[in-house]
Structure 1
Amino acid sequence: MEEVPKLQKLAKKKVKGLSKEDHETRFDMVLALPDRIKAIPDGSTAASNQSGGWGTSSSNKKIKFDSSEERFGSDFYQQTEESDQFRQEYEMRKMKQDEGLDVISEGLDTLKNIALDMNEEIDRQVPLMDEIETKVDKTTSDIRKNNVRLKKTITQIRSSRNFCIDIILLCIILGIAFYLYNALK
């Protein structure tokens, strides 16, 4: 009952996609809610009337336990149609919840089996991965060695080629100089 004012404030707020009629219907339902709650018999008011007013009083501070069987007869725990409906709805929802939990449990069992299979496969793949890693490391080392040797070879070829070009250019310059010397003489 304490939450009804909060619920009324929330019902007053506008909501996107809600028509004006729906909004008014919603607010009317919230206003009617306290009366509907009070209309539901829960047995607590009848029990306090039957017990002779077992409330606390300032003059009598002793607690009295009365275990007479007449107070707990069939009238005390009499079920109403609404309480029967509530119990049936509770049992139905509990059954649906149990079914849902069973489905979730089966799904978790399936996932567990898949995870165990994956773990076994990984355990089988580890030696292969180690072997591949060893081969990759060896190949990388061989490639580095070959790159160093290739660099040395290219440097040697380049230097010998440059030497040949230098001799050819020197011969051409000497030929031009000899031609000029003969032409000017």
Structure 2
Amino acid sequence: MGFSERFPRWTSAIIGLAQLALTAAIVGLEVGSVYIDLAHGTIWVGFWAGVIFIKTLLLMLFITCCCRGRCCATYVLIWTILSGALACVMIYFDQIFINDLCKCYLGDQLCCAVRGIESYRANFSAIFDECGQAITQGTISSKICPSIPYAKLKLIKAQLGCAVGMLITCAIYVVIYLFACLGICFGHD
């Protein structure tokens, strides 16, 4: 019995569809989070991890229908491990931001000036003037996070849950791959 017979087609289809839903949710939640506040409580992990997640899920769906061999499954395994590692990174950053919604990695000047999308429509020049005055007066640390973006909290928690889900789907694929490689059959003699 070959590898493709021991590696059920339906498992990669279910994992691929689950990863599709999780990736769409992760990227969508990141868009919502960035809209609320562009700099605070984010490092845009949903965007840069989403690129890898998309490639992984497309490969997962590809091996469901087109390439059932061990070589293709191994290539997907490598991408799945990378996606699992990025899911761990996302969990790490989301946990940091849940504990500190004002966390900003852009430096004091940018953290002061960069806020939510709505603030740029209303008073972009006023924000720059305020930050410029704070820099000259040496009071920039009080202006870094003028208001805590509590609206982001539920989005970050949801993204954390999706990242955990992505990690679980990656782990399931690795286990199924190992079972198929070791010759453990799924209902076949």
- Report the TM-score, using the length of structure 2 for normalisation: 0.27
Q: Compare CA radii of gyration and give the structure with the larger one.
A: 1
- Report the TM-score, using the length of structure 1 for normalisation: 0.28
